[in-house]
Structures are given as structure tokens and as C-alpha cells.
Amino acid sequence: MAYTINYSNAGLASATGVVLTEFLPAGTTFNSAGSTPGWTAFGTSEFRFAVGTLAPGVSGSVVFAVNVPSPVPAGLELLSNTVNIADDGTHGADTNPANNFGVDSTPINAAPDLVITKTDGATSTTAGGIVLYQITYTNVGTQNANGVVITETLPANTTFNPIYSFGAWDDEGGGQFTLVIGDLPVGASGTVTFAVTVDQPLSPTITSLFNTVSIEDGGASGPDLNPANNTSNDTTPVTTVKNPI
């Protein structure tokens, strides 16, 4: 991103020792190749450009360029840039210091796109059986996600099986289980397992188990690009085992 900075002396006397001071927007780095030559770094976020003497009515412009990271860090939604101009004070105080500052805010068009899928391995189960749901998640968006959490809804007529589950699942009550993933950069993925044990005995009217899983982040990076793929369902057939005669 390149900022064009226009400056002028609207006063009645020449200004000497004129300097532009730029403050690097948070989350960016200075792009020297795209900037007007002459910028000098002071510390990690301050850059100065020496204009020199500026006669009354004289104006000019310079470019200050920055690199926006890709992917965009979580929570970085806006680039805020500030520049100011000052002289050495030889000819007295500026007659209108209020216009010695310029501020520009640029929204960042980036967001996470969390995707979750699950499968029971295309299997069936019986009363007392164990079902393993393999859950795969990833971030296919353009911005890193933080505070990512997976939420499982326990299928009716089952109980949670911690022995065969993979991941630190927390029982939130009411059949809800959560798994904290934390930060999920763009392109990162993982797999966890949520296991359940089918009730025994089981009513013969129960012919299938329905399971739902969802994923969300902390919201610091704005709405998910495609919330339709934040939920995945799986139906597991339940078969009846007949006693031999």
C-alpha cells in the first residue's frame, strides 16, 4: 500500500528545516522500493523525510509505502496511518498547527474461513456399540483466526466415550462438548476424534444416530467468509442384533 503525502507552505514566510514524520501502521512493514527515496527510520515505527527549506506557496509530494502481511494477522481489521510536518522554528511558530497532521484509515478486506467436516467412516452400529466421529478442520480464508472452538452435540441415546476420543473435550452440560483449538493460521488444519457409546438397551424404534459439529472463532477478525461450512452433520445407521434361536 502506498500513501501519497502532499505538503505545502501556506504561510507568509519561508520555513526551514522542514521534516515529514510518518508513523508505520500497526501490522505493516516499510516498503523502501515503493517509497520516495530519502525516508530514514527512527526506531521501529517512526520514519522521517527531510524536505528542507519550503518557501511560501511552494508545495510538493512524496510517497510512503508499506507492506501488508499475507495472510493478515488475526484481529488486524484497519490500517491507521498518521503523518505530520514541522520546521525548525527559526521563523517563529506555525500560524495554524491544526493542519500539520494528516490521518488516513484503510479497512482490510480479509477474514477467516473456517471449514469443518466429520465422518463416522460410513459404518453402522448397534446397542452398546462405539462410534468414532473423525473431525477435520481448517482455515481456508485470507486472515488468521484466533480463539477457535469446536462444539459437538452429543447424539441422542448415546454417552460420551472419553477413552476413544482424541482431544481435550470439555463437557459443557446439556449434551454440549467443546474443544479449544486456539489460533488457526490460514492453511492450518487438524483432526480430532469424538467418540460415543450407544445406549444399551436401546429401543427398537431407534434406527439411526444424528450428530452435529460446528466451529467458530473469537470474532476479532470479523465474520467468517463462508459460515455455511462451519457446521457438519453425520447420520449413523443403527442395526438390530437378533438373538440366535
pLDDT tens column, 170-186: 999 999 999 999 999 99
Q: Is the pLDDT of residue 32 over 60?
A: yes
CATH number at 114-237: 2.60.40.1530
Closest C-alpha to 66, from 111, 27, 105, 104: 27
Rounded mean pLDDT of 154-172?
97
pLDDT tens column, 93-128: 999 999 999 999 999 999 999 999 999 999 999 999
Rounded mean pLDDT of 191-198?
98
- CA–CA separation, 221 vs 110, rounded Å? 8
Name the pLDDT band for 241 (thresholds 50, 70, 90).
low
Domain 2-107 has CATH 3.20.20.80: no
What is the per-residue pLDDT for 240? 80
8 A C-beta contact, residue 208 and residue 120:
no
| Cis before 201? omega within 30 | yes
- Which residues in the chain are classed under CATH 2.60.40.1530? 114-237
Q: Is the pLDDT of residue 231 over 60?
A: yes
**Which three cell numbers mark 13?**
514566510
Q: Is the pLDDT of residue 245 over 60?
A: no
**Averaged pLDDT of the chain:** 95
| Cis before 71? omega within 30 | yes
DSSP string, 147-163: EEEEEEEPPTTEEE-TT
% the chain with pLDDT above 90: 94
SS3 at position 195: strand
Distances (CA, A) of 235 to 138, 151, 157: 22, 17, 13
- Which residues in the chain are classed under CATH 2.60.40.1510? 2-107
pLDDT tens column, 61-93: 999 999 999 999 999 999 999 999 999 999 999
Name the pLDDT band for 242 (thresholds 50, 70, 90).
low
pLDDT tens column, 2-24: 999 999 999 999 999 999 999 99
